[in-house]
Amino acid sequence: MDGTIPLDSIDEVRERTGANYRACYEALQATGGDVVQAVLRLEESGTDWVDRLRRVGDRWVDRAGDLAWELSRARIAVRQGEREVLSIPALLGAVGAALVPGLAAVGLVAALLTRASVSLEQPPANN
């Protein structure tokens, strides 16, 4: 082959893989103009990208699950002096603050104005 790749070969690879023209051209060059080998080459490289993306997504889901577990074990406590006024699961507080941030801000300001303390309490490590 003289090094030129026919446009119809590029179009065929592009149609079969959905890759852009440059990627199709380079795959055809690397395979000596063999359309089938170029398609296989692009499919393999696409699978690697998809697999990497899936692994990253799985890690994020695992981390979110770990965070939710820790938040479900922890509690948000509001105290005035020694008296506990409110105690809720931290997960509920986090979800509530995300869904209704204005209400969470009003609650925090009210706690500060009444000189209440707000704390995040972790359970003992062996639970």
63-94 pLDDT, tens digit per residue, is 999 988 888 899 999 999 889 999 999 989 88
User: Which is it for strands 83-89 and 117-121: parallel, antiparallel or unpaired?
Assistant: unpaired
Q: H or E stretch including 38? A: helix 35-73
At residue 59, the pLDDT reads 87
DSSP three-state, residue 110 = helix
21-48 pLDDT, tens digit per residue, is 898 999 999 999 999 999 999 888 765 5
What does the alpha-carbon distance between residue 24 and residue 4 come to, in Å, rounded to a whole number? Answer: 13
At residue 17, the pLDDT reads 84
- pLDDT tier, 108 (very low <50, low <70, confident <90, very high otherwise): confident
Domains of the chain, CATH where assigned: 7-66 (1.10.8.10), 74-121 (no CATH)
Indicate the pTM of the whole model: 0.48
